[in-house]
Structure 1
Amino acid sequence: MHTSVNQKVLEKVSKRIAPSWPLKNFVAVNPYAGFTDTPYADTARILGSRAGIGMTMPLAFYLGQVKDGVIQRKDIQKALETARMGNTSVDTILGKAQKIQKGQPQSGSDYNLLDVASRIELKDWNELLIDRVSFWAAAHFDRDVSVWKTKSSGKNLYQAWKLEAQIDRTTEIMGLPGFRSAIKQLPNNPLEFIDAFLSQLGLDEEETEAYLHALLLKVLGWSSYISGLDFHNSLYDGNKSNLTEFLAVLLTWENYFLNHSPQKQEIKAIWYQKWNTGEPLSSQNESLKLALLFQDALDFASQRELKSVFQKQKPLDSKAEAKAQMVFCIDVRSEVYRRNLERVNPQIETVGFAGFFGFPVNYVPLGHEDGKNQCPVLIPSSALVKEACTDQKHAAKKRISDHQIGKTWKKFKSGAITSFGFVSPIGLSFLPKILLNSFHITRPNKDPKQDGIGKWQKKGKMLDLSAISLADKVAMAASSLTGMGIKDNLAPFVLITGHGSSSVNNPHASGLDCGACGGHSGEVNALTAQYVFNDPEVRNKLKEQGINIPEETIFLACLHDTTTDEISFVNDSWVPESRQKELADLKQSLQLASKHTRLERTLRLNIEGKSDEEIENRVKARAEDWAQIRPEWGLAGCNSFIVAPRDRSKGLKLDGKSFLHNYNWKEDPEFKVLEIIMTAPMVVTSWINLQYYASTTDNQRLGAGNKTLHNITSGLGVLEGSSGDLRIGLPLQSVHNGEKFEHLPIRLNVVIEAPIEAINSILEKHDHLRQLFDNEWIYLHCMDEQGKISHTYHKNLQWKAEEKVAAQVVESVL
């Protein structure tokens, strides 16, 4: 192939690898994101063939769901009709599944020369590649964790690997003679090497794509992390060729077996024979076909249950005037709290909105030079916000000093010689702290938000927004209030409630924080909103745009700790003395709602106690237990995204499994707000849902494995044990309770109350959204004005009315 054709293939292959983010801002990602242009079932066949990746559960799991009554016969019948197998009986399908439920899962074919060489020589060269590449990549991408640094810093990935591979004798010791010499002979330009090597293979364009994709899947963890670097750089004009350079690294191994291995002739002969008739896809076995059918049935069962829940909704009484509005993130954990809060105090109106609240800020803590992006990873941050306090100069100096001392102390403990001096005379002195931490009397790790700041400075968090122009503040405020749908009926108090989690000794802690805030707590975004909305200049400018914030309305930032379900006020010093009684009443309602929410969550956490107080204390203790592998369930169970007025879901028990976004199409005449919801929050919720889905169906390849075996590597990810590939996705303990799966692999159900024509118009405009539904990655439903699910989307902008729903669908206004 020509160089230009190779470049086209490289770009296509790179897009097939979904990005992954480091531990400090770990966010849920759809691992199938590179295949949304391909039908779900076809992707299952491709990934199974190229890498042995499973996209369904074992048949025994689905049969268990049938036995438990989760999947009913009518769900299987619907799946058969959808698959155009309506003439096949349910009993026949169940009988087939019973016979082959213990069949072998689909395994990958021999796509690469490494695969063929491993079979011929009876040695797992793939394992050696993974170990050596992972060992090198951990050193190359190290984030100031290692004491000893690699010499290859400053070089691109391919050049750094060449330097490493020429001095690492492990490959030759393990049985690859001349490997270092073969690396040395390669050109220094990665594209030049790739072009020459692919020309030597002689595959056509489609075959080359399959071949290269299978190679990247061998080291999927590092491939995903590097894809994440390119994704991030694409937002901020950085280097976007990292994954191509990494592919060149992997091809150096293929080059060895093609041109330098003692068995190269036999390897080439067998490999070319396998590719003689095109991509060597493994046959789609009967087990996979049945599993795909039963997965459809499980999804239909979930939809049946969801429709049934909304069918029970009755028209609500006219709303009393709200004394306060509380804006939550759409996160499924907020559903439980919102429901309990509305029950405790009906005069508090709750709102669901993306958890960065429309303020995509870059936040710089005291004593730091670089900031962190507090916004969805799909968009760049656009506003600089700095942490502030009453004695900023002193606090910054103290924090820097504390960090420097801590870094020096860490080097002392980790040094090749000094570590011995540390363990013997000093190690025993840590015994009291170990005991105090174990009994939850002290916190094993300092809270980074408060590290280096004195107690007298912690009373109320402060921000410096001087870098944001008035025009930008006004624009963000107007967009935010419009999106929330409250700009015309603001209450005396508006509580902007971000969320975060509390856990210790948990590498994936940021995965429990707010994904809309880039894997960070939403505290900063909420406080930024408080500053902006309470700014008199901003309010005056908003009034010129027709948005009138009443003088008595006070915006306050709150933080919802999803582990303990405590609600704290970030800085309530802005409330005058005359309104302290109102604030106290609000806090009392929040405390009661927190209690009810904690008690409800204990059912999923299997926490028991002699009294409510004891149970609550056990829930709170999980946040400080460094042996706790499940501090909370996060978003496990997420299966639906409801885009409608709160009245449609208010009072319904959705069990913390639904994302709730407030939206009233009658207040959105041009459907611009709906378009934003479908192109941003909806995509994010699909990423979260499919991340949990993948970590459940194949935790070995698309999940992070056993949390108790994790070792942090390079400060950016985890290994399971001491070697192997970087682990992506969620730990097994995030989806499994030790006895059964806490998360059922169900594709997301998006439910929107809006005219079908408006929804179709947005799908026509954004092909990537339409692909999600047309290719059955997620499902789409329309809700009528009575809160009933009335229509379901069926590919190509076609909809089907629900038979048992009597209410009329939302009429078109277009």
Structure 2
Amino acid sequence: MNAAALSFKPNNHFDSAETVGRTYGQDSLQAPDILAAIERACTRIAPLWPLQQFVAVNPFLGLSDRSFAEACEFSARMGQGEMLMPASFYAEQYRRGYIQDADISQAMQQTGSNRSLQQCLIELQNLPSHDTALPGNPCYTLADHLDAEHGSQWALLITDEISKWCAAYFDQGQSAWRMPWRGLPLYAAWRRAAAFDRTPELAGLSAFRQTISALPEQPIEAITRILAAMGLPSARLDDACHRQLLTVAGWSAWVRYKHWQASPEQTQDALLQLLAIRLSYDYALISAVASLQDVETWRDHWQDAPLANTDTGAALEIRHIMQSAYELATQRPLFEKLASALASASPHQADRKNLQAVFCIDVRSEIYRRALETQSNTIETLGFAGFFGFPIEYIALGHHQGQPQCPVLLKPKFRIRESVSDADVGELSDILEKRWLRKRLNRLWKGFKNSAVSCFSYVEISGLSFAGKLLSDSLGLTRPVVKPGIAGLDKHIVHRIGPVITRQRGRLIAKGPVVETGIALGDRIELARKALQGMSLNEGFARLVLLCGHGSSTVNNPYAAGLDCGACGGHSGEANARVAAAVLNDREVRAGLSTQGLTIPKDTWFVAGLHDTTTDEVRLFDLDQIPHYFSEDLLLLRRWLDQASQLARQERAPGLGLANDDAASLTRAVSKRSRDWSQIRPEWGLAGNIAFIAAPRTRTSHFELNGRVFLHNYEYRQDTDAAILSLIMSAPMVVASWINLQYYASTVDNRRFGSGNKALHNVVGTIGILEGNGGDLRVGLPWQSLNDGKILRHEPVRLTVVIEAPAEMIEQVLANHAEVRQLVDNQWLHLTRIDPFDNCCYRYIQQHWQAVTDYGRER
């Protein structure tokens, strides 16, 4: 970066930052006030999970106590990001007839606008087409203000510098040379590094090292001194701290995650240290670059009137009305289908099924469920959270720690280890020793290839020997890397590996600590009971019950975990399905359930499976444990699954740009995509999600939902105390909302809430992504996961929730769960219910139910 572009000569330069503090009389700031402001700022930051466990997170998590409309204004004002599409988007939807006049009128009614339809359309037409930025944003950092006034690039430099040091400090093993001060707290480590770093001074920030060394060693003391020097109004300190953190929003989110499962105090302390680092750079600008007039002008910006009183606030209001109208238009086809299904709903079939298949509520499962149901009228599918109610930490063979296999809102309660079936102690020891030897050799070989002294000579000498492998990988004929779960294992061993569910105590690795794994019988019975009740599967068991988790097959894709099961913490659902099936097949568990009035027939068997959402193949597990008298049922199941996979691939093919004439060619094509290291869209993930439905499958089985709806089975008649509904609304519904809002945010403002262009991604520290070779840690989804190059593949709408239950049951849940009520009342999602008595839909608006008629328009 050109240093001349960063620096300028101020007109009224002064000697020290303390001069400004004395000028504004802010030396009276107290630590408790600072800490309170920091705590408020920290709660606005949503966590960012690492790539290995990448799960969808609501980026507006810290704003959920505000209404959606208020959050739109606040987010834009703070520079956090735009929460609405540009005016041109809504104008185009109206021009082509997608948004209708009735939608706009209804949206104005819901938002409380007193405009006429004509006024709204005129104002929409007069808005700038694409410019959504706020003119004269008062919530600037000092670096932002100097850049705007003088054309410098201090904000960019500061973000790059902080990102550089955070990447070194938080690195999880990617770098060959580690930061020597990683054992110190973040702020202390950065001060040690800054003492040697001349980059800011070379960029024009004179005496930077001396300025930083003169700051207090404790971060809270440093923050207090800096804020006093800045002279910001005490009433805006929380906004000022929040804005500082937003300039390194990605790293702020990562720090927030680091202590997400620890304690609020630790989270506050970690973000406090990052805040101290960011403020230190603005402090250095006050000391060396900014004039007194610059600081005074910047400070005055923080005294500006609220945005709602400006023309920009009025423009936001129009866009908010149009966003609501757009969402009403998107809901119309869904309510049209529901109205048709409600009118023709048939009684529940009492005949025993040959197969019940339980899938994750993930929207991709909807396509496969429909395909499977067409195979026979003796098949019933159900929707349930993909971890199947088993919050476990799954420890892979030869490891002493595992990964959480449950939604991020939960913590694992049980540790499950892998073992090799029918292996004695000697064989198991040999397998473990061989696996770790191979892994160590692979690490040494990788270290040699990447080392500074050997990388070039290695390529010169050995490069041609890899030509064949490089060619086959490039053509998608082979997989560039082995799947981590089977790395270091012989092929004939892989199929013998499975979970051990019984309670055991011992070492998982040589010389490791003694740990307890497995699940005690009483806990297994309780988990099984809750899982079956959550599936609304208390009776009428089929001969085979398939518990089908899901995962995705991709290579060279840092966001691979984002395509796996969110309910399993960004992992595939294989482990949960196998553990759940093993528990439900356990004779002792069934005996315990029978004493509680829940009887599983002796001729019912639970089978674990995994749906690969890239290839639409379903793999079955632990088949050697299935009794021989299920052999014909198993053959029939395999045939049904093969045919359903073919139908699902054919339905998804056009969206992937594949021809679907020849089934065999299509199968090869999707399989090749899963191995293609240049493929930027191996599948579409959860793009297009618009709704969450909790109801019996009979409500939705008569029509196509096009892979856009989360489907959760729910029978309110089996839920007399609303306990199951409470669980659904406080867990799966919230997770679905998180997913929806992440896709929404990444679409409306990918620059701030997304991760940009996949082709420019670089993995940093195995933690996350940089777009290019610098800048902030990116959050959210890449643009290629949302847009096919021509049109948006994800419509930016808030989630529509449809629940079949009496009004009083839903209202009871809202009354008992403040966070859920907050999501609903503040319009972060749209709540609708199907009344089981009159078969009509009702929308929840301002704490009242309003009938939905005429395909989504209220009466």
Q: Does the TM-score normalized on the shorter chain lie above 0.5?
A: yes
Counterpart for residue 613 of structure 2: 562
Counterpart for residue 111 of structure 2: 83
Contact 1:736/1:743 (8 A) holds in 2: yes
How far apart, in 1, do the equivalents of 2:498 and 2:445 lie?
30
For 2:68, give the aligned amino acid: Y
Give matches, 1:27-106, under 5 Å. Answer: 27-51=55-79, 53-85=81-113, 87-90=115-118, 92-102=119-129, 104-106=131-133
SS in 2 for 1:37: coil
How far apart, in 1, do the equivalents of 2:410 and 2:854 lie?
41
Counterpart for residue 183 of structure 1: 212
Is the counterpart of residue 244 in structure 1 residue 272 in structure 2?
yes
The structure 2 residue matched to 1:571, chosen from 606, 613, 622, is 622
Give matches, 1:510-529, under 5 Å. Answer: 510-529=561-580
Relative to the length of structure 1, the TM-score reads 0.95
Deviations 1:501-530 (Å, cap 9, x if unpaired)? 011111100000000100000000001112
How far apart, in 2, do the equivalents of 1:125 and 1:686 lie?
37
Pick which of 261-270 and 433-442 moved more.
Answer: 261-270
Is the counterpart of residue 255 in structure 1 residue 283 in structure 2?
yes
Deviations 1:672-695 (Å, cap 9, x if unpaired)? 110011111111000000000001
Shift of 1:241: 2.5
How far apart, in 2, do the equivalents of 1:234 and 1:490 lie?
43
Shift of 1:798: 1.7
Shift of 1:200: 4.2
Counterpart for residue 4 of structure 1: 32
Give matches, 1:390-469, under 5 Å. Answer: 390=423, 391-465=427-501, 466=503, 467=517, 468-469=519-520
Shift of 1:100: 3.0
Shift of 1:565: 0.7
For 1:581, give the aligned amino acid: E
Deviations 1:573-614 (Å, cap 9, x if unpaired)? 111222211110011011111111110111222212552332
Counterpart for residue 597 of structure 1: 648
Contact 1:366/1:395 (8 A) holds in 2: no
Give matches, 1:464-479, under 5 Å. Answer: 464-465=500-501, 466=503, 467=517, 468-479=519-530
The structure 2 residue matched to 1:740, chosen from 786, 791, 805, is 791
SS in 1 for 2:647: helix
How far apart, in 2, do the equivalents of 1:456 and 1:263 lie?
68
How far apart, in 2, do the equivalents of 1:651 and 1:740 lie?
29
Contact 2:348/2:698 (8 A) holds in 1: no
For 1:316, give the aligned amino acid: S
For 1:105, give the aligned amino acid: T
Shift of 1:52: 6.0
For 1:456, give the aligned amino acid: H
Contact 1:788/1:805 (8 A) holds in 2: no
Relative distance call for 1:240 and 1:516 in structure 2 (3 A) is: farther
How far apart, in 1, do the equivalents of 2:495 and 2:678 lie?
30
Shift of 1:238: 6.9
Contact 1:461/1:570 (8 A) holds in 2: no
SS in 1 for 2:225: helix
How far apart, in 2, do the equivalents of 1:206 and 1:378 lie?
33
Deviations 1:21-60 (Å, cap 9, x if unpaired)? 0100100011001101111111111111211611111222
Contact 1:748/1:778 (8 A) holds in 2: yes
Give matches, 1:104-119, under 5 Å. Answer: 104-107=131-134, 108-119=137-148
Matched length: 803
Give matches, 1:601-640, under 5 Å. Answer: 601-608=652-659, 610-640=661-691
How far apart, in 2, do the equivalents of 1:266 and 1:151 lie?
41
Is the counterpart of residue 266 in structure 1 residue 272 in structure 2?
no
Relative distance call for 1:770 and 1:609 in structure 2 (3 A) is: closer
Contact 2:554/2:682 (8 A) holds in 1: yes
Relative distance call for 1:112 and 1:234 in structure 2 (3 A) is: same
Shift of 1:786: 7.2
SS in 2 for 1:693: helix
Counterpart for residue 17 of structure 2: none
Shift of 1:317: 5.7
SS in 1 for 2:486: coil
Pick which of 395-404 and 715-724 moved more.
Answer: 395-404
How far apart, in 1, do the equivalents of 2:838 and 2:155 lie?
54
Shift of 1:83: 3.3
Counterpart for residue 490 of structure 1: 541
SS in 1 for 2:711: strand
SS in 2 for 1:309: helix
Is the counterpart of residue 145 in structure 1 residue 174 in structure 2?
yes
Contact 2:653/2:660 (8 A) holds in 1: no
Is the counterpart of residue 375 in structure 1 residue 406 in structure 2?
yes
Give matches, 1:273-352, under 5 Å. Answer: 273-277=300-304, 284=312, 286-313=314-341, 314-316=344-346, 318-319=348-349, 320-352=351-383
Shift of 1:109: 3.4
Give matches, 1:774-785, under 5 Å. Answer: 774-785=825-836
Shift of 1:770: 1.2
Shift of 1:285: 5.0
Relative distance call for 1:751 and 1:364 in structure 2 (3 A) is: same
Shift of 1:571: 1.7
Pick which of 683-692 and 52-61 moved more.
Answer: 52-61
Contact 1:498/1:523 (8 A) holds in 2: yes
Relative distance call for 1:600 and 1:397 in structure 2 (3 A) is: same
Contact 1:460/1:572 (8 A) holds in 2: no
Counterpart for residue 812 of structure 1: none
For 1:248, give the aligned amino acid: A
SS in 2 for 1:637: coil
Identical positions, percent: 39
SS in 2 for 1:232: coil
Pick which of 569-578 and 62-71 moved more.
Answer: 62-71
How far apart, in 1, do the equivalents of 2:231 and 2:315 lie?
34
For 1:421, give the aligned amino acid: S
Relative distance call for 1:328 and 1:240 in structure 2 (3 A) is: farther
Deviations 1:107-158 (Å, cap 9, x if unpaired)? 3435322222323443111100110111111111111110001011111111
Relative distance call for 1:539 and 1:592 in structure 2 (3 A) is: same
Shift of 1:284: 2.3
SS in 2 for 1:487: coil
SS in 2 for 1:145: coil
Counterpart for residue 155 of structure 2: 126
Counterpart for residue 232 of structure 1: 261
How far apart, in 2, do the equivalents of 1:789 and 1:174 lie?
66
Relative distance call for 1:702 and 1:334 in structure 2 (3 A) is: same
Shift of 1:724: 0.8
SS in 1 for 2:383: strand
For 1:13, give the aligned amino acid: A
Gaps of 5+ in 2: 1-28, 504-516
How far apart, in 2, do the equivalents of 1:199 and 1:532 lie?
61
Give matches, 1:215-230, under 5 Å. Answer: 215-230=244-259
Contact 2:222/2:276 (8 A) holds in 1: yes
Gaps of 5+ in 1: 810-814
Deviations 1:548-577 (Å, cap 9, x if unpaired)? 222222111100000111111022111122
Shift of 1:619: 2.3
SS in 2 for 1:16: coil
Deviations 1:535-554 (Å, cap 9, x if unpaired)? 12222222222222222221
SS in 2 for 1:182: helix
How far apart, in 2, do the equivalents of 1:462 and 1:777 lie?
41
For 2:621, give the aligned amino acid: V
Pick which of 57-66 and 412-421 moved more.
Answer: 57-66
Relative distance call for 1:60 and 1:283 in structure 2 (3 A) is: closer
Deviations 1:186-242 (Å, cap 9, x if unpaired)? 12211222233334445455401111111111111111111111213349x976632
The structure 2 residue matched to 1:544, chosen from 566, 585, 595, is 595
Shift of 1:280: 8.4
Contact 2:477/2:672 (8 A) holds in 1: no
SS in 2 for 1:613: helix
The structure 1 residue matched to 2:635, chosen from 584, 589, 599, is 584
Contact 1:274/1:280 (8 A) holds in 2: no
Shift of 1:435: 0.5
Shift of 1:287: 4.0
Contact 1:310/1:787 (8 A) holds in 2: no
Relative distance call for 1:528 and 1:203 in structure 2 (3 A) is: same
